[in-house]
Amino acid sequence: MDIIEILKAIFIGIVEGITEWLPISSTGHMILVDEFLKLNITPEFKEFFLVVIQLGAILAVIVLYFKKLFPFKLDEKKKIVISKETLNLWAKVLVACIPAAIIGLLFDDILDKYLYNGITVALMLILYGILFIIVEKRNKGKESKINTLKEITFKTAMIIGVFQILALIPGTSRSGATILGAILIGTSREVATEFTFFLAVPVMFGASALKLVKYVLDGIAMTSTEIGVLIFGTITAFIVSIFAIKFLLNYIKRNDFTAFGWYRIVLGALVLIFFFI
């Protein structure tokens, strides 16, 4: 195992753990990190790694929200019962996954080939940074129509799912697109953020499974260094995600997303300057 590559993987895991949940685009940051911090691995494994590392981040959601997400509960008589409320929540999450799943399956290779680059990331960082600032100013002082997860209807879930399609373009941010869409249709920041967390579970498991199947079908073997990169990167992403999720939930209780909008604009501008210079 190459210790330098392992240290690089840990750094990438830290970036993934932070950016997966904050509305600043984890995929975009991963592409940018790759421009400056080159992993000594095959291009096929790198593509696989940058998707599968997200599983570590997803496990953080499952751990933190286990009671809300696990449908089997113990009643007063200590008997196992199925929570209809939890099943209903999962049904809405799955409905919200449909639009992006269809588009992603149809255009996955095209998106990888033409849009996974620094310039696209920079432009999307700036565009959605501006949109965050505009939406927050527009909604300032307005009462939210949806203030609990129970109030999210299947129609609302589908609309949020349509916004998630935008996140297929790197630099957009999956959490950013869905939170922005949810806020636009009257969902509170807290509920929009939690629903986005839950939405990530099937979406990212599905994306990782798709990449895994492609990788296995291609018959590509991993080196010991690549296995180490995958393990350390994923574990790091899990640990850092725990703190990032808790930070975001505490942050939105007192603040809006304007600061993230400005961060995106500044970062996008710096990236454009770098690539053009």
Residue 162's nearest CA partner among 173, 178, 150 is 178
pLDDT digits (tens, 9 = 90+) for 68-117: 899 888 777 778 888 899 999 999 999 999 998 899 888 878 887 888 78
Cα separation values, 126 from 123, 173, 177, 193, Å: 5, 12, 13, 21
Query: Residue 173: left if φ>0, alpha if ψ -120 to 50, beta else—which one?
Result: left
The whole-number pLDDT of residue 165 equals: 93
The whole-number pLDDT of residue 160 equals: 96
Three-state SS for 223-237 is CHHHHHHHHHHHHHH
Taking all residues of the chain, what is their mean pLDDT, rounded to a whole number? Answer: 89
Pull the structure tokens for residue 68.
Answer: 């809300």
Structural domain including 153 reads 3-276
Say whether pLDDT at 17 is over 80: yes
Section 161-170 average pLDDT: 92
pLDDT digits (tens, 9 = 90+) for 241-271: 999 999 999 999 889 999 999 999 999 998 8
The whole-number pLDDT of residue 13 equals: 94
Does residue 136 contact residue 260 with C-beta atoms inside 8 Å?
no
pLDDT digits (tens, 9 = 90+) for 179-195: 999 999 999 999 999 99
Q: In sequence order, which ranges of the chain are alpha helices (DSSP H)? A: 3-19, 26-36, 43-52, 54-64, 66-69, 84-115, 118-139, 154-164, 174-184, 189-217, 224-251, 258-276
213 pLDDT tier (thresholds 50, 70, 90): confident
All residues at 6 or more sequence positions from 208 whose CB lies less than 8 Å from its CB, including other chains? 51, 52, 54, 55
**How many Å apart are CA 154 and CA 138, to the nearest integer?**
25
Does residue 202 contact residue 250 with C-beta atoms inside 8 Å?
no
Say whether pLDDT at 1 is over 70: no
Tally the domains of the chain: 1
Does residue 108 contact residue 168 with C-beta atoms inside 8 Å?
no
Q: Look-up: residue for tokens 């350390």? A: 232
The whole-number pLDDT of residue 110 equals: 87
Pull the structure tokens for residue 239.
Answer: 């640990």
What's this model's pTM, rounded to 2 decimal places?
0.86
Radius of gyration of the chain (CA): 19
